Amino acid sequence: MNRVFGIAFASSDVAAIAGFARSLNAPFDVLQIGGEVIQGSGAASIHLAPDTAPADAIATTAQQLASDATHLVAVSSMASKDVLARLAGLVDCGMITDVVTTLSPTSFKRPVVAGTLIATVEALELPVAITFRPAGYEAVTGQAASSVQAVSLAPSAVAVVQEAKKTGGRPDLTQARIVVSGGRPMKDAATFESVIGGLADALGGAAGATRAAVDSGIAPNELQVGQTGKIVAPDLYIAAGISGSTQHMAGIKDSKFIIAINKDPDAPIFDVADLGLVADLYVALPELKAKLGG
C-alpha cells in the first residue's frame, strides 16, 4: 500500500502535499518545519519542528519518521530539493523533481527543456523521493483534523556561521502569491529596489529578476527567476521590462495571471501574458504604485 511522507517548508505546503497524496489515493504524514499548523488537510499526523535547520538535519529527521513511506515528497523549491536529495541518499532511493502530474504510483510527468516538452518519468522502485509543483495538484482543505506532535530535529553536521538578512522581509519568491519582476532596462540596484521592490511592497509580494538583470549586478542572484533560477507559481506575476525569453518563461509559466509591461509592442512576453501594457515601465510602475497608495 502506498503511503506518502511530506516535508512542509511553509504551513500552506501541507494542503498541497494532501493534493499530491490524493492523486495516489494514499494516506499521508507530514514533517512541518516551523509555522502554525493549519488543520483540514487530512494528514494522519503532523510532526511539527519548531524552527528550520540545515538540510542534513531535516533529512535525517525525515528518514527516522518516514520508515513506512513509499513516496517522500515536498513542494518544489531550492530548499526542498536540497533536503530531498539528501533524504534520497540516506534512504538509497531515486528522485524525481518538478513533477506536475501523477499517472500511477511509479509514473509521473515533469517538464523538461525549459518547459517546452513534458517527459513521462518512471520510478523503477519504491520508495521514491519527489518534488512536485503545486500548480499541478489541487490543494486539499476541509478534511478531518490531524494529530500534531512536536518533534526536535536531529543535530546537524553543519554550523551556521553567518546569516544574511533577507531584503525587506518580503515573502519567499517560490511561495509568494504576487511577484513583481524586472529585467535588463533597470538602471542599477537602487532603481531596481525602488521601482520593482517598491511595487512588490505595495502589493505585499516578492521581487524577482531576469538573469540579464542579475548578471549586470542590478538584482541579487537569489532573485533570479527562470530555467537556472527559481520556479515561481504566484496568482499574479508582473513582468516589467522583460522580453520573455524561453529561459525566463520556464520559471513563470505556472503563474495564474501574467501582466507584462514593455515598451516594445512586439516583445515575445505579450504572446503569453494574460494582460499586456505597451508602456515605459518608469511611467507605468510608479503610477500603479501611487494608485495603490504606495
CB of 43 to ligand FAD, least distance (A): 34
Contacts of 71 (CB under 8 A, 6+ apart): 2, 3, 4, 5, 20, 21, 24, 26, 105, 126, 127, 128, 130
Task: Give 19 or 229: the residue with its C-beta nearer to ligand FAD.
Answer: 229
Shortest CB 238 distance to ligand FAD, Å: 12
Check residue 255 for interaction with ligand FAD (CB under 6 A). Answer: no
Q: Assess 198 for contact with ligand FAD (CB under 6 A).
A: no
Q: Which is nearer to ligand FAD, 123 or 196 (CB)?
A: 196
Does the footprint of ligand FAD cover residue 289 (CB under 6 A)?
no
Q: Which of residues 66-105 bind ligand FAD (CB under 6 A)?
A: none
Say whether residue 45 binds ligand FAD (CB under 6 A): no
Q: How far is the CB of 259 from ligand FAD (least distance, A)?
A: 13
Q: What is the 3-state secondary structure (H, E, C) of 90-123?
A: HHCCEEEEEECEEEECCEEEEEECCCCEEEEEEC
Minimum CB distance to ligand FAD smaller for 109 or for 184 = 184
Cβ-based nearer residue to ligand FAD, 205 or 241: 241
Among residues 68, 122, 264, 271, which is the contact residue for ligand FAD, using CB under 6 A?
264
| Interaction of residue 262 with ligand FAD, rule CB under 6 A | yes
Name the residue with cell 495564474: 256
Indicate the helix (H) or strand (E) that contains 86.
helix 78-91
Which residue's CB is nearer to ligand FAD, number 2 or number 282? 282
Cell of residue 13, nine digits: 505546503
Residues that bind ligand FAD (CB under 6 A): 183-185, 210-213, 224-229, 241-243, 245, 247-248, 251, 261-264, 267, 280-282
